[in-house]
Amino acid sequence: MATGEFELIDNYFTHRLPERDDVIIGIGDDGAVLDVPAGFQLVVVTDTLVENVHFDRQTSARALGHKAVAVNLSDLAAMGAEPTWISLALTLPHSDDEWLNSFSHGLREICDYFNCQLVGGDTTRGPLTITVTAHGVVPKGKAIQRRGAKPGDWLYVSHSLGDAGLALASQKHQVNISSEHFRQVSERLHFPTPRVALGQALRDVASSAIDISDGLLADLGHILRASQVGAVISLEEIPLSLAMTESVSQEQALRYALTSGDDYELCFTVSEDQRGVFDTKLATLGCKPVCIGRITGQAEKIELKLAGEPWQFELPQTGYQHFREPLEAS
């Protein structure tokens, strides 16, 4: 059953991967050698998933393979970058053929879909930990930052929010939902869709962008801090899935949408000037971001309004911070 480190990598990860022309040396040497096209800049992002912190033992290996890549491509999308290559650092308690087959299958599926090639990594023994470093390219000077939002800009999110949080709450028996709704929101928790095409379409159009991994309020907060602006959100505009609205009250739905993590949707701002260009670009893209509010001049202040009236609610904490979370039992 035990497999050597090198055969491991060979067996599961080196075949049936997309082969890009810009990969000069891939897996199998001390490092990968890669061509960044002239006129483009390199974008690098890193995200780690740890067992019992980001997922539990029941999570399928295929979902982990997908998600470890997806959360990184979501960061690339928020920068407006086109994904190109990933490195995988995989720490496993023991060699498990079935798990590795399923994990590499999930990883391959999303890499294939986004034409992103695995070019290297490291496989080590230890508690299950998955770190992916993803690389992308963006035309010189066109990366979207957090700090460009201006008062008067429109505030958008790419898709419905809170489903992953609802799935997690249901999994922990904190809320009771139908099995069909559970299936739908679990799909969003385990197989998030990074908004890669949208991110690239936002270059030259969005004044700022971030991906929502820690909840809308926390991540919008990063844009507001970096840009030194505020925002007013019309809560009734926040997109919610049918699974969400049919399962919980409006107040509970808004709590999930505002504060639960793992959405991996984009949150971005568009100036009044760019709004026409943006609508035209969207028409060809087949996705429908929703305008949920506007940027204000009140630095770092978020005003929540429901039907025009201020909506008060206690924030449990400002985002999902691992060091403040107790470790869950495995």
Tell me which residues in 120-179 interact with its own copies (CB under 8 A): 120-127, 129, 131, 133, 135-136, 138, 143, 145-147
* Closest separation in Å from C-beta 203 to its own copies: 12
Pick the closest to residue 110 from 196, 209, 31, 186 (CA basis): 196
Residue 57 vs 324, nearer CB to its own copies: 324
Site string for its own copies, 180-219 (x = CB under 8 A): -----------------------------xxx--------
The one among 11, 18, 20, 48 contacting its own copies by CB under 8 A: 48
DSSP label at residue 81: P
DSSP label at residue 51: B
SS3 164: helix
Residue 59 vs 91, nearer CB to its own copies: 91
Residues 49-108 that bind its own copies (CB under 8 A): 50-54, 75-76, 78-79, 81, 85, 87-89, 91, 94-95
d(CA 236, CA 242) in angstroms, rounded, equals 14
β-pair partners for 209: 268
Tell me which H or E stretch contains 259: helix 250-259
Neighbours of 28 (CB within 10 A): 12
SS3 233: strand
Question: What is the residue type of 50?
Answer: V
Q: Is 16 in the site for its own copies (CB under 8 A)?
A: no
The one among 21, 30, 309, 314 contacting its own copies by CB under 8 A: 30
d(CA 262, CA 165) in angstroms, rounded, equals 7
Q: Is 316 in the site for its own copies (CB under 8 A)?
A: no
- From the annotation, which residues make up the binding site for substrate? 54, 262, 320
- From the annotation, which residues make up the binding site? 30, 46-47, 54, 75, 121-122, 146, 211, 213-214, 262, 320
